[in-house]
Amino acid sequence: MTTVTATETATRAPSVGTARTRVEGVEKVTGAARYAGEIPFTDLAHGWLALSTVARGRISALDTDAVLAMPGVLAVLDHRNALRLNTDFPSLLGMRPDPTCAVFQHDQVPHRGWPVALVVAETSEQAREAAESLVVHYEPEPHTTDFTAETPDAYALDGVMPALTEKGDIEVELAASAVVLDAEYTTPEEHHNPMEPHAATAVWDEGRLEVVDSNQGATWVGGDLANLFSLDPAAVRVRSEHVGGGFGSKGVRAHQVAAAMAASVLGRPVRVVMTRRQMFTLAGHRSPTVQRIRLGADAEGRLRALEHRALSHTSTVYEFVEPSAGVARVMYDADAHRTENRVVRLDVPSPTFMRAPGEAPGSFALESALDELAVACGLDPIELRLRNDAERGPVSGLPFAGRRLADCFREGARRFGWADRDPRPGTRRDGRWLLGTGTAAASFQAGAAPSTATATAHPDGAFTVRIAAADIGTGARTALTLVAADALGVAPERVRVRIGDSAFGPAMIAGGSMGTRSWSWAVKIAAEELRERLALGADIPAEGITVRSDTTAAIGALAAAERHSFGAQFAEVAVDVGTGEVRVRRMLGIFAAGRIINPLTARNQFLGGMTWGISMALHEEALRDRASGGLIGADLAGYHVATHADVPRIEADWIEDPDPDDPVGIKGIGEIGIVGAAAAVANAVWHATGARHRDLPISPDRVLTAGAPDA
């Protein structure tokens, strides 16, 4: 038996704040880390989803007999034989029920690419062959997938936030303003495309459901599956040890549900993996947006009126709203202030959370509009933002728990060389390239949600921390190791953090940029309490000493405040007005985003978001074919994302901004990197060319159509 006391480690330097490679990095780069689709199971069967080829209608018949006679085929599940599911429970964040993943419950087809059957076979190849041979007969109905600002069917919708906020009289303030801007901005449908496709294996054991999955929250997915299959939550275990990206797309989806259904029919493990193409209809997406912004300012650039109205689409299955107007509720105040999120239901797949939902498209519109207003006011765009830096929440009236936006701009401007900028557009050239620079503000909510964790001291001096966290590539596992090590007062090498298992108890998902903050809180409390127990000189038995924490009460006691991370984005672009090509030459993001746990992986998070901002500004656009109602080129050949050659000198850094109300000082960094990034690029394109791009992506055809300045 070993006794570990705190005194021996009292002078240890903190691990939090030191750069660490991922604790599972060697496993990942050597291939030893197994992902959900490659974990071996005895007697495994493979399911393949068959998706609808019409955009609306009903299934009149399925020719399953022919498919059942094919080699290796074990079963075909469809709406006629599938288990009935319970869908009457609120979805994530306590919102309305989401039946998007409730497959095979009826004969209705709500969009092209809706799952109509699961074919199960001995091998994945046999399942695919059979699923692709399955003839499904439909009674098609007319469908509508066109998304336009003119739609008469749009309506205001509450989501994670209320649909509407209103203060003062917009029309009165606009009429009294010295400078007025009224502009419409659009962003296209965009897709997450995590590198690892969605994959799940389900197995039943005496009424208990076990699922090995790739998701953003094992307890969350387990809870939803328990609800769907009307099980006691304790009868469902979901594991998700390594996750190759999620970005909001990896919750409960058709594949886990279909796998669990098939496993119950066959009495053996069944795996369902999505193909890249299937992910374009089964994994959710970011809705396209149309956003109208009206700004009124006095002669000094102070906002008198701010109106931000956003429209997004949703499916006929589920009301999801992309809350793009929400960003204005945080960023800028005005005497009259109005924001509204509306949706229109179309015959399209259900959209969902996608990295910085709302803020990503919303900041493109709002931060482009601020840039336009700065030009109209004859003010530097940073100066305009500083003059309108909100002191309290523009809508809530609450104080900010830290708002170092101005400091981000000052530090960013210094490092980017903003002071030398000639404000006139179209004045800098490098051969055939027109050069320009642009900037934009960024913000993202900083929240924490209740979580539970355990910390165990072992007799050999090692520690194990267990929490149902998800490391979706962020480095969360490593960050939690550092937090635990400091709380225990030991070297990180002595701490093993185990995550991705619903058996570890309730915990926040990897989402809303709240994961690492929420989990760290629980881990720190459990680890500190364990350290205190050990300091009393306890003998450690073979099974160890375990302490459990639950942050529900502590987080519930947090005072109301506007809690956000902030940032300033800078971009320099070169535009060839002969070919329409836009190249980002350099980019800098400076963030005030709470205490940074691991500078190495934190920088990755920021750079990943900023890279996605470049991608959003210049490349990404899912185009829907009006006739078929499906996407054109739904794969990574047709859907362009930024790749290495598109990403230039790009740097992210941060300033001190510990959250005073968080035990570790964390705010959250997962999403803010993309916020404002596309606007900074678009504003730089304006500065280079004099042409304002209000529609994303800024593709060569749009650059060519917009023309060049007279030079």
Query: Which residues contact ligand MOS by CB under 6 A?
Result: 216, 246-248, 353-355, 357, 511-512
Of 574, 652, 547, nearest to 607 by C-alpha is 652
What does the alpha-carbon distance between residue 60 and residue 57 come to, in Å, rounded to a whole number? 9
SS3 477: helix
Shortest spacing between CB 159 and ligand MOS, in angstroms: 13
Closer CB to ligand MOS, 433 or 444, in the complex: 444
Of 102, 184, 609, nearest to 354 by C-alpha is 609
SS3 363: helix
Shortest spacing between CB 498 and ligand MOS, in angstroms: 22
In the chain, what is the straight-line distance between the N-terminal and C-terminal CA atoms, in Å? 81
Closer CB to ligand MOS, 197 or 511, in the complex: 511
Task: For the beta carbon of residue 661, count every other beta carbon within 10 angstroms.
Answer: 17
Going by their DSSP bridges, the two strands 115-121 and 45-51 should be labelled as: antiparallel
Closer CB to ligand MOS, 247 or 418, in the complex: 247
Shortest spacing between CB 351 and ligand MOS, in angstroms: 11
- The catalytic residue among 189, 196, 241, 671 is 671
Q: What residue ranges in 298-387 does DSSP mark as E strands?
A: 303-314, 336-345
Residue listed under structure tokens 């739609």: 151
Closer CB to ligand MOS, 355 or 619, in the complex: 355
Which residue type, as a one-letter code, is found at position 368? S
Going by their DSSP bridges, the two strands 433-445 and 428-430 should be labelled as: antiparallel
Closer CB to ligand MOS, 284 or 412, in the complex: 284
What does the alpha-carbon distance between residue 650 and residue 609 come to, in Å, rounded to a whole number? 11
Closer CB to ligand MOS, 224 or 372, in the complex: 224
What does the alpha-carbon distance between residue 375 and residue 86 come to, in Å, rounded to a whole number? 55
What does the alpha-carbon distance between residue 418 and residue 342 come to, in Å, rounded to a whole number? 37
Q: Which residue's Cβ has the minimum distance to ligand MOS?
A: 248
Shortest spacing between CB 9 and ligand MOS, in angstroms: 36
Shortest spacing between CB 194 and ligand MOS, in angstroms: 10
671 is catalytic: yes
What does the alpha-carbon distance between residue 206 and residue 223 come to, in Å, rounded to a whole number? 19
Closer CB to ligand MOS, 511 or 673, in the complex: 511
Of 511, 514, 516, nearest to 483 by C-alpha is 516
Shortest spacing between CB 251 and ligand MOS, in angstroms: 9
* 677: Cβ contacts below 8 Å, ≥ 6 apart: 440, 442, 569, 571, 587, 589, 609, 610, 612, 613, 614, 616, 617
Shortest spacing between CB 352 and ligand MOS, in angstroms: 8
Q: Which residues are catalytic?
A: 671
